[in-house]
Chains A and B, each alone.
Chain A
């Protein structure tokens, strides 16, 4: 009996009928809970969930011999308000912009002391990754330091009041890109794709993932930890506060980002894409935009069908560029 016969395949986290080896780490009572209860993330926070998923999978992959370096940002602020910490792993707080440099230093120190069994994971939000931390990160990439750098991308500076970042998508309304008057929100033609920038460094491993697919996210962490050198993982984590989505819909919104084609999920090795996750049930971008109040202005009154069409074009370009509607060769 193959696994395709199981009631829900491997889409859900687990299943009583599923071989335990095929269940997500997160379905196990043995999971490490790297970040535990009592943290002060907003309700429905995608980043708090993603951090637990990533670090639990990395802990399992390394047998717990791992140091985590954390940039300033939501994740640091809500997890460690003095005198409390939600972390249950060895964890270091850096400045906003230097997490990659600190992680490089930790890796160098471990190497210098002969502790080559201990691995290093650095994590930051999109602000600390694509804007403020990019210089340090690019250096870490080009030196090929033995660090996995994880970016939890919630597409803006959320804990400081939802300002625009280099990862904010076009047409999103933020505190610094208000959709007032003729403005459509965050202007088209700005921003950057850090996964593609990372690939340009030809580092061993670059991957994207979302909180909507735990199996995929965990598998990518395991792959990353099986490799050495500079590795980069970019995880889309919806933010109910900054995106104006219902707290219950965090997973759904991330799923719609993938199924619309706006967020391509792929893996790259040494600068070349090696695998993509095919869209399973394609939806128009409008299905993704509507549940988020940061795109409200596109649908108020007569709406802005031209802007929605431009966003659809972006999705279509991703679909063509990454072959998102083709069956991936890596899916079983």
Chain B
């Protein structure tokens, strides 16, 4: 280069000096698994759809489509899921978890309002799959199988589809128009639904010539317990009560209703009793509130509605005008022990919410499909001992919830798809999680969580109107943008802006960077200042 007079060094001539040779470690961009998605029983990639939703506008549909990759029911789970994603959310360490569930509901409702649809984009395979039960597990499997081009028939014993989503969860938590709309969207993929068609013999059903069968009959039987009871006593199991109510039968519960149990069904029963006109709804539970399996939000809402609680109590005897209750105390290991002290509780009826059992009478004796402790035995891929027969949802052992069942349905669909192709079922890899410590939280704006508004209390004692309202567009967007994007670049440009050596290059659309190894000295500032923990240092081979 010919330099002008008195200029001794060419501009930028330092680039001849490749300072990258100083390096002992190199920065590497990485994408880790976020704890939210890792905790999602339905297998949603939560971080990805929050990222899409953060743009607002057209981003909402993209976000919804991302959810639909795994979960066909975002408007339902946006209402009834107990959101383990939020429990796992790293933002909980900073201020309060991102309101993932409320954003999901917003997206689900947006889809229903806008009429967004999914389509089968592969040719029909000609394979036929029978799904027994139209609950969340069955319908989720039907959805994913249909999207893979298989012909699916769902057989349901009840007159309407949805399983526990319809016959277990009260309307004030899940309005039926939402349930119907999301179920219809699955059926619109060409899934055949046969209602009022109980399957009573698995072998006979198999013999109809299906290529695969998914057993997803759920756990519909209310568990009973032996209680000495006077003949006039009115003892009903809560599951049947909720089921009958859905079929239009208004149970006669009287003015004072007691509920026995501490799970979510107990609270559903008590809150339903209140809405049916009971002046007193009392939950009797043998342990303390802290040990109650019911979800905190549900307990809080029940308390707001005037449901009362008798903690550390068991029922000794049911008498015509009430209950004889024995007080308990927790021993050192936290188990309730009887104290011998009793009291009377006036009650016109008693609802039992002591858990649910599966009705597996369709599985004959000596079947290859084995049942242990009331649950169907399956392998990691949800396959039973009978070739081509899979089981999931409440009929297999483990946690029971709508979202768990949806996740089972999706994984069963994968397994069936693999089975039909003659391939082994996929085994999910152990996730490489993004821990809170990997984040640089300095860069995140202080942003307090927005909570969903609740229906006013007066209307919660007399109607089955939905209790929890949705977020409006502005607050949903705000909540989505509270996401810390754990373990995934969100194109903040810190690495590019803070490199003292200009050794980070922006090579394309937002979020695409490359380290210029000719000049990167390996200082690690980009790693330290990455808000999302999306860069790591790897040692150089020297």
Contacts and interface: CB of A to CB of B under 8 A. Distances in A.
Contacts of A26: 493, 496-498
Contacts of A4: 445, 447
B525 A248 contact: yes
Interface size on B, as a range, is 35 or more
Interface stretch (A34-42, A227-235, A270-278): A34-42
Contacts of B442: 11, 255, 281
A44 B492 contact: no
Contacts of B11: 85, 87-89
A176 interface: no
A281 B447 CA distance: 15
Interface in B18-73: 18-19, 22-23, 54-56
B513 to A, nearest CB: 11
Interface residues of A, number: 55
B506 interface: yes
Contacts of B9: 80, 82-85
Interface in A11-60: 11-17, 23-24, 26-27, 29, 33, 36-41, 43-46, 48-49, 52
Contacts of A41: 500-501
A247 B497 contact: no
A325 B109 CA distance: 44
B361 interface: no
B481 A36 contact: no
Nearest to A237: B500
Interface in A87-120: 87-89
B528 A37 contact: no
Interface in B479-507: 481-483, 485, 490-494, 496-503, 506
Nearest to B529: A251
Contacts, number: 171
Contacts of A88: 11-12
A85 B496 contact: no
Interface in B492-542: 492-494, 496-503, 506, 510-511, 516, 518-519, 521-525, 527-529, 531, 537
Given A15-B492, A37-B15, A85-B14, A48 B443 contact: no
A13 B491 contact: no
Contact of A40 (B19, B54, B497, B523): B19
B503 to A, nearest CB: 6
A252 B500 CA distance: 14
A94 to B, nearest CB: 14
B525 A250 contact: yes
Contacts of A46: 500
A156 B19 CA distance: 25
Interface of A: 1, 4-9, 11-17, 23-24, 26-27, 29, 33, 36-41, 43-46, 48-49, 52, 79-80, 82-89, 211, 214, 240, 246-252, 255, 281
Interface of B: 8-19, 22-23, 54-56, 442-445, 447, 474, 477-478, 481-483, 485, 490-494, 496-503, 506, 510-511, 516, 518-519, 521-525, 527-529, 531, 537
- The 10 A-B residue pairs with the shortest CB-CB distance, nearest first, are A248-B524, A13-B497, A38-B14, A26-B497, A85-B9, A14-B493, A44-B523, A9-B445, A27-B493, A86-B14
